[in-house]
Amino acid sequence: MFRLWAKIWHENHLIKDMVVENSSDDTRTHKVFQAVEDISVSFDLPKPLWLEKNVNEFKKSAHTRFYQDSFIEDVDFDYLEIQIIEED
């Protein structure tokens, strides 16, 4: 089972969170991108852009934060944090 935890933070307070599960046979990359899309739909957010900083951070620790510069539209929170909590 693949599980990714998403959290929205504003002024050091957790505003929303959710866990996305995926048991398909897709690659890890496809699972991550699908999870980010599911999160965007669920939280009614524009999809974040993967900047080089995000890619490097995610490769290193399976964790990254998307700040305002990762979104084309304005967002009303400080950052969206994603983290893989389980991989098969």
pLDDT score recorded for residue 68? 97
pLDDT score recorded for residue 88? 80
Beta-sheet pairing, 79-86 with 2-10: antiparallel
**Beta carbons within 8 Å of 50's beta carbon, 6+ residues apart:** 70
Measured between alpha carbons, how far is 50 from 58 in angstroms, rounded to an integer? 10
pLDDT band for 35, please (50, 70, 90 cuts). very high
Mean pLDDT of 57-61: 96
pLDDT digits (tens, 9 = 90+) for 7-25: 999 999 999 999 999 999 9
pLDDT digits (tens, 9 = 90+) for 38-55: 999 999 999 999 999 999
Domain assignments of the chain as residue spans, ordered by start: 2-86
Angle at 17 between CA 11 and CA 21, to 5 degrees: 150
